[in-house]
Amino acid sequence: MALLDYFLRKKEKQVTTASKAKERLQIIVAHERNNRNKQPDYLPQLTEDILNVLRKYVQVSDNSLSINLDNKGGELNVLELNIELQDENSPD
């Protein structure tokens, strides 16, 4: 009874599995992106403080320090500091 199926099917197509999939994905992806991009508020201040400490001992420019908090999944967070020191022998 293909004819009957054809009319009946129209009705039950209201909420498709594809739209359920899209809705679930939108929620989980938004959530995961949020976690991914979240850097703590204290990072800029921490960067400034570290730079100030460094300046007591060596010459460093403002952009010689990069700082990054990386969530390695679960409980493990890694605070990554990268400090570029100028060559002591160079004239500047």
Partner 1 sequence: MARIIVVTSGKGGVGKTTSSAAIGIGLALKGHKVVLIDFDIGLRNLDLIMGCERRVVYDFVNVINGEATLNQALIKDKRVSSLSILPASQTRDKDALNKENVGKVLEDLGERFDYIICDSPAGIEAGAMMALYYADEAIVTTNPEVSSVRDSDRILGMLSSRSRRAELGLEPIKEHLLLTRYSPKRVEEGEMLSVEDVEDILAIPLLGVIPESQAVLKASNAGEPVILDTESDAGKAYQDVIDRLLGETVEFRFLLAEKKGILSRLFGG
Q: Which residues contact 43 (CB under 8 A, 6 or more apart)?
A: 67, 69
Q: Closest approach of Cβ 88 to partner 1, in Å?
A: 24
Which of 2/76 has CB closer to partner 1? Answer: 2
Which of 7/57 has CB closer to partner 1? Answer: 7
In the complex, the residues that contact partner 1 under the rule CB under 8 A are: 2-3, 5-6, 13, 16-19, 21-22, 24-26, 28-29, 32-33, 36, 70
Residue bearing tokens 């990386």: 70
For 75, half-sphere exposure in the C-beta direction (CA atoms, 13 angstrom radius) is 0
